[in-house]
Amino acid sequence: MNKLIRISAILSATFLLSACNFSLKTNATTAPAASPTVTMTVAATETETSATATVAFTGSPPGNPPTSTASWLTDAKTPASAKNAYAIAGDDFAHNQFERPFTKDLVYRPDLDIQSASLTFDSQWLYVIIVLDGTDTGKDTLDACYGVELDVNLDGRGEFVVWTRPPFTTTWSRENIIIYGSSKGTVGGTHPLVSDAPWKGDTYDQIVFDGQKPSDVNAAWVRVSPTDPKSLQIAFSPEIIQKPSKFLWNAWADDGIKDPKQFDYNDIYTKQDAGSPYKWDPDYPPKSIWAVDNTCRAPYGFKPVGNLPGACQNQPTPGPQLPGPTPTKTLIPPPK
């Protein structure tokens, strides 16, 4: 027996989250953004042995990200002219920090070298803007996977990854974006961010949102900036990450493993297996972990106190100047 059912409803984002069977827990309860309203139309055909459904998406994409910045960070720069690419700073395998923006053949990839990242928001979206050193050589495009990892519990373990896949255009798209979650809260192994390799366990084992699947969840979008070809803009709804009032976040550029289900990479591969981007290191060059760059984690919604796992370390603030005589310049004679 066949039935045709048409449902038209106005749903809040809270209902949309429950429809995703989302089960992660967090202590955060507020967010800077209001819940979006989405209209959904479902047509279903049911038989005694099978059922199919189609969903018409009716949500709206974001506009331009606000120019104000709520949180930002910078990243180490890799020498672009290196004949055999190498890093000079920023890679710390023991703590899951990678500065390896080059191929297995040690060819530098400017579209993998993160220069900075910033986070802002409006009434509906959180935006993360990742600025790379350039586009992929010879392609004039960003040609890797880019993502945002979020630690909403401030314990060093990521709870969500907003992950994007090429190709990208200057028009907002949802088809090439996916959001991963962790049902068991074990990302990072026994010791979050610190290498436990070789470790085997559950990491990002949930798909919270997949833009390629039929859904009316207006959760996430991605595009290349219309005014800057080396800048990627990612927008996602606070509701899809359970509306945390504060969190730590960092940016990823990955064209090597490019699989959040293997995070943290330094738990899966030993240092010897992973190799090193430093020429002075006996494990040079990179091996199992290559073509990847990530940043330290920046705070949103709070001012860090003490050393939080994975958080960017701020430069020390100079203390007050004590009163005293004005120093006199002393000329140093040239060497004889």
Q: Write out the DSSP string of 157-179.
A: ---EEEEE-S---SS-BSTTEEE
pLDDT score of 23: 35
pLDDT score of 330: 31
- Measured CA to CA in angstroms, residue 125 lies from 120, 169, 236, 243, 266 at distances of 9, 20, 6, 11, 32
pLDDT score of 81: 67
pLDDT score of 314: 62
pLDDT score of 82: 66
d(CA 113, CA 129): 14
Structure-token match 């899809």, residue found: 240
Low-confidence ranges of the chain (pLDDT < 50): 1-53, 315-336
| CA dihedral for 127, 161, 301, 243, sign (positive or negative) | positive
Task: List, for residues 136-164, the tens digit of each pLDDT value.
Answer: 988 889 999 999 999 999 999 999 999 99
pLDDT score of 215: 80
Q: What is the enclosing helix (H) or strand (E) of 274?
A: helix 271-274
Reading the block at residue 102, the tokens are 């080059």
Pairing of strands 206-210, 99-100: unpaired
